[in-house]
Structure 1
C-alpha cells in the first residue's frame, strides 16, 4: 500500500470508530433513556469543554431547568437534584457507592492516602483519630484562639475604614481563615492578617485549585495524561514540589513541639498509639495529606461563604439591617461574644444557611460510581460504573426544591417562614456533604462563620463599592472569586 492509501485507510477506520462510538452512546447505551443534550450524550468532550471553560456549574443548572431532576450530561454520567440521592448514595446506607477516581485523582503526598482518597477502612480509622480535634469540647478550648483572630480582623479593618478607600472583603476573609487554620493545623499562623498580603505558599494553593480541574479532564484520556505528566514544565514541577515540601516541613515542625495547646495535632497525638500503633495512628503520608486538606477545606470554603453571604446581604438592605440589629442588640461589645451566645442568633444562622444555598462553597456535585453489580438509584436500576452526583448549585437554585430559588430569603429557614416556604425540600440541602464522608469541620466552620460575621457587623456598616454582579464567576472545582469591593464605616469603638 502507498502512504496515501495507509493514511486514507487510517482516516476511514478512525471515522468509523468515532461514528460507532457516538451511535452506541446515543442509541444503545444502558443510559440512553435518560434525557440530556445530544452532544453530551454522544461524547464526554462536550462536558469537558464546559469544565475547561469554568462553565460546568451553570451549564448543569440550565440542563436541569430544561430536562428535569435527572440529566444525562455525558455518556456514562447522570446529574441529580433530587433529595432521594442524598439518602441512597451519600448517607451511611450508600457506602457501596465509591468516589469517582478520575475526579479525585491520586494523593499528592503518596500512599497510603489521606481522608479524601482513603478506602472505607482507612477512612474510618483516620476519621476516628482526627474527629477529636473538631469536637464540641475542642471548639470550646479553641474559642480564645479563634476570637483573637476575629478581633485582629476588626482591628485591621478599622485601619482601612480610617483610610476611607474601598477594600476587597474576599482577601480579608481569606487572610483570617488561613491564619486560623494554619494555627490550628501547624501550631502557628501565616501572619496574613498582620502583613495584609498572601504568602507565595497560599498563592500556590489558589493556583493548584484550577490545575485540579484541568488534570481531572486529562485523567479521562490515559495516553494524553501520561504525555502531559512527561511534558509538565519544570517550573510547575518545582512549584508543586515546593508546595508539598513546605506543607510537610510545617507538619514536622509542629510534631517536634511539646505542647498541649488546643490545636488539631494535639488531639491527634493525644488519641494516637495504644495497643496497636498502626491501627491508632496517622502514618506520615496521611498526616501530610490531611494537613493539606485542612488548609484548603477549612479556609477557602469558609471565606467563600462569608464573601457570598456578605454580597447577598448588601444586595438586600432590609435583610442586612435586620441582621445588624440582632447582632448589635445581643452584644454590647466584642468582649461579650462567646460560642453559646453566637449559636442562639437565629437570624444570623438563617442568613448563613441561605448563603450556603445561594452560593455553596463547593457548587459542583461530588461524583460517586455505582458498584460493579449495579444498584437501584432514584427508583431505577443503574449499571455498575455509572457516575452519579447531586449537583449542589443546580439543586439549590431549582424551583423543584426551593420556592423563589433565585431570591435571598433567610426567613425560609425560620419558623416565621414556614407558612410560605414550608414546602421547600430541605433534605436536598447538604453543603457539608452527608453520611460517613461528610465534612469533619462542620461545627468549626459554622462557629467561624458566625464569629467573623459578628466581628465585622458589630464594628462596621458596609456598602458595595460598585454595582457589578459579583456572583458572575467561573468555577474550577471552587468558585473563581472576583474582588468584593466594599466601603467600610466604623460604627463605634467597642
Structure 2
C-alpha cells in the first residue's frame, strides 16, 4: 500500500505544470545553476518547490517508473535468495538460454556456483534439496499449482502396462527393433530415429490398440514419427508463449529463424485413429470414449492423444538414445559386459527381477533423465518457507532432475560419472531413491514412468542378450551434447550411429 501511494505521488509530481518544457528540479535533482527561470516556484499542497529543471517530462516519467521498479526489487523478500544479481531485475538471461536450448545446464551451473537454492529470474527460484522436492511436489506441496508453462505440453501416463496384452505389445515391437539390428550388422545404424520409432509404436499401442503405428516397418508411419521427433519449433513456441502479441506481429518473419510446429501427418494419424471403433480396454482411447458423453468431443480426444503421443516418443526415445550411447563408450564397456552376463545367465526371467538391469536403467535415468528440466509451480496464497527462505505467493518455484542428480554428491559421489554399480551398494539405497527425480515426484508426477521403464528394460534385454554396441568412428561427444526441448533433451546432432556386433564375435 505504501509503495502504491509513493508511486502516485511521484507520478503526480511528474505532471506539475511549469513552462511546458521542464519539470520541477526537486524531482530531477537538478543543480541550482541549471534551474529554469521560465516560471515561478511550484506550490503543491501548500508547499513551495524550486522552479522546474531541465529534464523532459517523458524522461522523468521513465525515471520514476524505473525507480519504483528498482525499489520493488530491492525490497522483495527474494532479495536475499542466492543467485546472480541480474536475476533479481530481469529474466532475460534465463529466456536467452531457453531460446538457445541450454536452460537446463545454465541453471545447473548456477546451482554449482550458488548452492541448492538459486534465484534464476525476478519471480523464479530453483531448488535441489529433498526437502524442497517434498514441499513443492509431494504431500507438503498441496496447493502448488502448475504454471502456464504446462500449456506447451502434457505428460503421458498409464499404470497398467505390465498386464499381458500391453506388455506383449511392447515385446512385439522390441523384436521388430532387433530385426533392424540384424540388418545393420557390419555397418553402423542410427539409433536416434529407430528408438523414436520404437517409442512411437509402443505409445500408440497404448493409445489406440489395435490401431497403433508401425514406424519400425512402415515408411509412411516412420515419416509421420519423424515429423514429431525432429520438430524444431522450440524457439517459435517460446516466443508465442512469452509474448503472443509479438508472435502475431512477427509471424511472417519469425519462421526464418524459428520454425512453427508443423506435424500434419501426425495430426491426420491421430484424428483418424481416434475415430476408430472398439479400441482395446486398456487404451487411452477406450477411456476417452467412456467420457464422450461428459462433454468430451472428437477434437478433444484427438488433441489429448496427440499430446500424449509426442510426450511418449521424446522421453523414452531420447533417454534410451543417451543410455545406449554411454554404454557403447570404451569407459562403460565393462558395464555392458556385466549386463550381458546377467541377461544370458537368467533367460526367461522377468525384467523387473534383474538387479543389474535395473541398476543400468536407474543410472541412465540419473544421468539422462526422461524430463531433465525444471517443473515449475506457483507458490500458494500466503507464501511458503522453503529451504530456509520465505517465498511469496505466486512466485515460480521448481526443481530440475539434472541438478538434483548431480548437486547432492553425498548421495551420488562423482555425479558426472556413469556408474551403475552405485545402485548395487547395500548402503544408501533409500537416499538414492529419495533423490531420484527423473519422472518428477508426488501425485502429479509422470505416472507414464511405468510405460517408459517397461519399454527401456524390454529393449535393453533383447539388444544386450544378443549384441555388443560400439560407437561409429565419426560420432563425437559434441554431437551427443544435450539440447533442451520443451519436455526432454535430445542429442544436439539429432543422430547416434552405433555398430551392433553379434555376441561371440570379436570387437574391433
Helix, strand or coil at the partner of 2:443: helix
Q: Does 1:175 align with 2:197?
A: yes
**More divergent stretch after superposition (377-386 vs 27-36):** 377-386
Please tell me whether Structure 1 or Structure 2 has the larger radius of gyration of its CA atoms. Answer: 2
Deviations 1:450-471 (A, max 9, x none): 1111111122111111362154
The count of aligned residue pairs is: 444
For residues 171-206 of structure 1, the C-alpha deviation after alignment (integer angstroms, 9 at most, x for no partner) is 221111112222332333433211468744333323
Residue in 1 that maps onto 2:373? 364
User: How far 1:491 sits from its partner (Å)?
Assistant: 2.6
Higher mean alpha-carbon deviation, 379-388 vs 319-328, is at 379-388
Correspondent of 2:310 among 280, 296, 320: 296
State the alpha-carbon separation in 2 of the partners of residues 476 and 298 from structure 1: 14
Higher RCO, 1 vs 2 (CA within 8 Å, ≥6 residues apart) = 1
Residue 348 and residue 81 in structure 1: after superposition, are their counterparts in 2 closer, same or farther (change >3 A)?
Answer: same
Inter-partner Cα distance in structure 2 for 1:318 and 1:212: 37
In the alignment, which residue of structure 2 is the partner of 1:434?
Answer: 441
Cα distance in structure 2, aligned partners of 1:218 and 1:81: 29
Q: Displacement of 1:70 after TM fit?
A: 0.2
2:384 to 364, 375, 391: 375
**Aligned residues of 1:36 and 1:72 also touching (Cα < 8 A):** yes
SS of corresponding position for 1:372:
coil
Distance 1:8 1:170 in 2: 60
Change (3 A) 1:272 1:443: same
Alignment map for 1:207-356 (pairs within 5 Å) = 208=231, 210-212=232-234, 214-221=236-243, 223-228=245-250, 240=262, 242=264, 245-254=267-276, 257-258=277-278, 260=280, 262-266=282-286, 268-269=288-289, 277-278=293-294, 282-315=296-329, 316-331=332-347, 336=348, 341-356=350-365
User: d(CA) in 1 for partners of 2:398 and 2:267?
Assistant: 34
Summarize deviations over 1:266-320 as a string: whole Å, max 9, x none.
Answer: 4554x658xxx52xx8554542232123212222111122112112222311111
Cα 1:11/1:189, change in 2 over 3 Å = farther
- Conserved 8 A contact 1:154-1:456: yes
Q: Deviations over 1:359-403 (max 9, x none)?
A: 112110110011233223234332111000011101112226521
Residues 491 and 182 (structure 1), Cα distance of their counterparts in 2 relative to 1, 3 Å cut? same
1:8 CA drift (Å): 7.0
1:105·1:216 contact (CA, 8 Å) conserved in 2?
no
Partners of 1:403 and 1:424 within 8 A in 2: no
Return the alpha-carbon distance in structure 2 between the equivalents of residues 321 and 48 of structure 1. Answer: 43
Paired position in structure 2 for 1:405: 415
Give the C-alpha shift of residue 28 in structure 1: 2.1
C-alpha distance in structure 2 between counterparts of 1:46 and 1:16, whole Å: 25
> Where does residue 14 of structure 2 map in the other structure?
none
Q: CA–CA distance in 1 between the matches of 2:111 and 2:362?
A: 23
CA RMSD of aligned residues (A): 3.3
Report what 1:105 is aligned to: 151
In structure 1, the partner of 2:476 is 468
Distance 1:11 1:215, change over 3 A: farther
Q: Per residue, is there more helix in 1 or in 2?
A: 1
| Counterpart for residue 502 of structure 2 | 490
